[in-house]
Chains A and B, each alone.
Chain A
Amino acid sequence: MGPHGRRARRLVKAALGLSVLVAGVALVATAPRSAGGARVFVPARGDEVLERLPARTEGRRTRELRALRAALAKTPRDVELAVRTARLAIELSRARADPRYQGYAEAALAPLFHEGAAPPTAALTLRATLRQSQHDFPGALADLDVVVARAPKDAQAWLTRAVVLTVLARYPEARAACARLEPLAPAVVVAVCRETLASLTGQATAAYARLSRAAEGARLVTPEEGAWVASTLGELAARAGDVDAGRRHLERALELEPDDPYVLAALADLELDAARPAEVVRRLAGKEDNDLLLLRLAIAEASVRAPEAEAHAALLGQRFRASRLRGDVVHRREEARYLVALAGEPRRALELARANWEVQREVPDARVLMEAALAARAREEARPALTWLAESRCEDPALLRLRQELE
């Protein structure tokens, strides 16, 4: 056998050795994860807990809703009962960040929309809220148009209208809706409506100062109201560049409404921007049920290289796939952020961020569009967000930083 043959043999051995190594690593790595797919099983023990119902931890409103739905099943066309049921269901959908309750609200309202007569005003306002949650903003505005034409003193309708128009970046119309609210609602509510707009349109610092003053003098009736004002103050402070004040307000909001998912997400975003991911991991660990929070948790874990990072990112990917299977598009903002920050798929992120921008135009929507354009090296694609930024004169620090990177 010549030197050639020997060498070839050595190579074969080396290659085989390497293959065995790869296979070995593969098997070891597989063992604990074989249940990763959707495996059908019969639990071994009857007392094995399969699901925890977050709803039961606060039973009063759950029981109340159940009683209302049971009563409504007997008299589905009872307008007052239907409206009460839908309102409570929407409140619960917010408190628990669970869209199932929106479905229950929709079911309660449905019989009121199937008659020849015009639907009741209260039902229209609630349907507008549901449509807004499902990102059907034109549908929501159409309902609200009818409401304010019928009842020009309906504070709720004007407020919801202002909110929807703000999401659509139609600021002058939103401002007009806040003005209509002025004689109808408490001063602090009007201030939140106004100053949120001012903060988006070139008066970040002044808006924060004005809302702080309005909040100081206000008598806050309920924890919900206090938490709402505090979390708005937190957002306005952060936009004005005062991270510490932002954190203080958001923490105050959490004292009033512990575990409010909206506030938790806002606080997590603030900490991520302040480069304090460990804080996010500490606060959000165990809250993986909520996709909004799982997204922040997985991003934070990836940056501190926590061992759960990969599993959590994978779980989030599965949740997005499940949503896509059912044909949902309401979470494009979050999915785009996931694709940029965790999945390393800037192209697909950009597609989603662009489609999302056509539907809603809030600060996070502009941000994810700019981030995706940067990551995909397609700066041109960020133009709609840059145009909006220039026209609105929004001073969000993260957006200004991104604009610099893009230019």
Chain B
Amino acid sequence: MTRARLVTLVGALCALLALLLPRAAWAHKPSDAYLVVAVRGADVSLRLDLALRDLDDELGLDRDEDGELTWAEARAAAPAAAAAAWSSIEVRASDGAGEISAECTHVADAPPAIVRHSDGAYLVLQRRLACRAAPRALTLRYGLFFARDPQHRAVVRVDAGAASRSIVLRAAAREATLDLTDPAPARRAFLAMVREGAAHIAQGYDHLLFLLALLLPAVLVRRPGSARFAPRARFRPAALDVLRVVTAFTVAHSVTLSLAALEVVVLPSRLVESVIAASVVAAALNNLFPLLREGRWLATFALGLMHGFGFAATLHDLDLGRGALVVSLLGFNVGVELGQLALVAAFLPLAFAARRTWVYRRLVLKGGSLLIAALALVWLAERALAVRLLP
């Protein structure tokens, strides 16, 4: 056997073995580019994030071949990257009747920059276009990298007005047309967020129990100088008390939800979740060993601030486009308030009707509060110590 033949045979065997088992099917995200198109009137701005690894494969960024991509190497390749990118992206604006009436022309480019996505560093290319008129529909065509890697995709987000639309362009579908006048995506997105908010309050037992612990004593009034409760005579003061508490909670969590969603303030989730559990304990214990009598709404406000951070975590997980963030935030909040309102609407008439009974004052108020406090105490321990106690 000749040496060449032996090498081929061993090579074939290696190849055979390297192909054997379905291993490491997924360990990195495949290649993506991110394109954000922002439409403001007749101005269209594009931001394209390209993975340095893809640019290296296409253009050979790593000049010194040391396996490290530096800013100098990326900057040196930026003009070539921009030329390749912009020549493979097409933006056509139309008046909505299918006619391409508003050709968009190149106005200016921003200098190259860098952004880190979860899977590495990306080169940021930005370009401003001016169209002849405000586009009513936009056709996008994208063709970068497909020849080298058919699994490459462009994750596109178009922000126009209050609505964000997302599409994915791929080798088999490189072009898409978006109707910017269609109000449906904005409305759908808003309604979806309302649903998310309502679902979150319905499944967020900690928020519900917090509210319930605060509502339980609302149909009762404390005898002056004693810890004993007496039923309220009239519905109106009870309803007012509920209104104050619910409003304080709403205002407080709306403030912090907004701050957190806009990333003005970011808190570690373990701290947030622990304080939320502590707030439920505090609210429930206050029904058993009253420290605060009137003015519970103020304490509600202070503790409600923390709950807002808790809501924000959910919102963050939903991953929203910047352009639609305010609308989403509003929708989510409306959903949360609707959920709360449902709880109040179910609770208040029943509680008011039952307020004179022993069952309500002893079993529901005292027993219920005890139960809530105990449960929340377990949550607090679980969250603060990161252990699992409940099955």
Contact = CB atoms under 8 A, between A and B. Distances in A.
A159 interface: yes
B266 A30 contact: yes
Nearest to B26: A331
A327 B19 contact: no
B348 to A, nearest CB: 24
A305 B386 contact: yes
**Range class of the A interface residue count:** 35 or more
Contacts of A328: 29-30
A57 B68 CA distance: 10
B69 A12 contact: no
A2 interface: no
A148 interface: no
A178 to B, nearest CB: 12
Given A19-B305, A100-B149, A103-B151, A56 B62 contact: yes
A53 B68 contact: yes
Nearest to A362: B22
A37 B15 CA distance: 43
B153 A327 contact: yes
B119 A110 contact: no
Contacts of B70: 46-50
A330 B269 CA distance: 28
A90 B305 CA distance: 52
B221 to A, nearest CB: 14
B266 A36 contact: yes
Given A50-B69, A91-B18, A164-B22, A290 B150 contact: no
B24 interface: yes
Nearest to A69: B148
B148 A104 contact: yes
A274 interface: no
A160 B155 CA distance: 33
B71 A325 contact: no
B117 interface: yes
Interface in B362-391: 386
Interface string B94-120: 000000000000000001111111111
Interface string A311-337: 000010111011111111011001000
A61 to B, nearest CB: 11
Contacts of A53: 53, 56, 62, 67-69
A287 to B, nearest CB: 10
A99 B151 contact: yes
Interface string A22-44: 10011101100110111111110
Contacts of B15: 87, 91
B24 A292 contact: yes
Interface in A4-31: 4, 7-8, 11-12, 14-15, 18-19, 22, 25-27, 29-30
A93 B28 CA distance: 10
Interface in B148-205: 148-153, 155, 166, 168, 203
Interface string B116-153: 11111100100000000000000000000001111111
Interface in B20-72: 20-32, 52-54, 56-57, 62, 65-72
Given A87-B15, A87-B19, A291-B28, A51 B153 contact: no
Contacts, number: 261
A57 B301 CA distance: 56
Contacts of B334: none
B344 interface: no
A110 B32 CA distance: 20
Interface string A246-262: 00000000000000011
A227 B72 CA distance: 40
A56 B71 contact: no
A222 interface: yes
Contacts of A102: 30, 151
Contacts of A225: 13, 17
A224 B17 CA distance: 7
Contacts of A25: 267, 271
B118 A315 contact: yes
Interface stretch (B82-90, B210-218, B234-242, B292-300): B292-300
Given A53-B56, A328-B30, A47 B19 contact: no
A167 B28 CA distance: 21
A15 B302 contact: yes
A321 B28 CA distance: 13
A325 B155 contact: yes
B74 interface: yes
B117 A100 contact: no
B74 A224 contact: no
Contacts of B52: 50-51
Interface in A42-99: 42-43, 45-57, 59, 69, 87, 90-91, 93-95, 97-99
Nearest to B269: A310
Given A30-B266, A51-B68, A103-B150, A222 B14 contact: yes
Nearest to A58: B67
Contact of B295 (A8, A228, A292): A8
A212 interface: no
B302 A19 contact: yes
Interface stretch (A127-135, A199-207, A277-285, A394-402): A127-135
A30 B265 contact: yes
B276 to A, nearest CB: 12
B271 A29 contact: yes
B24 A261 contact: yes
A326 B115 contact: no
B69 A15 contact: no
A266 to B, nearest CB: 10
A156 B19 CA distance: 8
B22 A156 contact: no
A302 interface: yes
A133 B28 contact: no
Contacts of A69: 148
A323 B29 contact: yes
The 4 residue pairs across chains A and B that have the minimum distance between CB atoms: A56-B67, A103-B149, A97-B27, A46-B72
25 contacts: A7-B293, A12-B295, A14-B302, A34-B263, A38-B116, A40-B115, A40-B124, A46-B75, A90-B18, A94-B24, A98-B27, A99-B30, A100-B149, A107-B147, A107-B149, A132-B22, A156-B16, A189-B17, A222-B17, A225-B17, A293-B27, A305-B386, A309-B386, A315-B118, A326-B29
Interface of A: 4, 7-8, 11-12, 14-15, 18-19, 22, 25-27, 29-30, 33-34, 36-43, 45-57, 59, 69, 87, 90-91, 93-95, 97-100, 102-104, 106-107, 110, 126, 129, 132-135, 155-156, 159-160, 163-164, 167, 185, 189, 192, 221-222, 224-225, 228, 232, 261-262, 289-293, 302, 305, 309-310, 315, 317-319, 321-328, 330-331, 334, 343, 347
Interface of B: 10, 13-32, 52-54, 56-57, 62, 65-72, 74-75, 111-121, 124, 147-153, 155, 166, 168, 203, 259, 263-271, 292-295, 298-299, 301-302, 305-306, 317, 319, 386
Given A100-B149, A289-B28, 6 more contacts: A39-B115, A46-B71, A50-B69, A99-B30, A319-B29, A321-B118
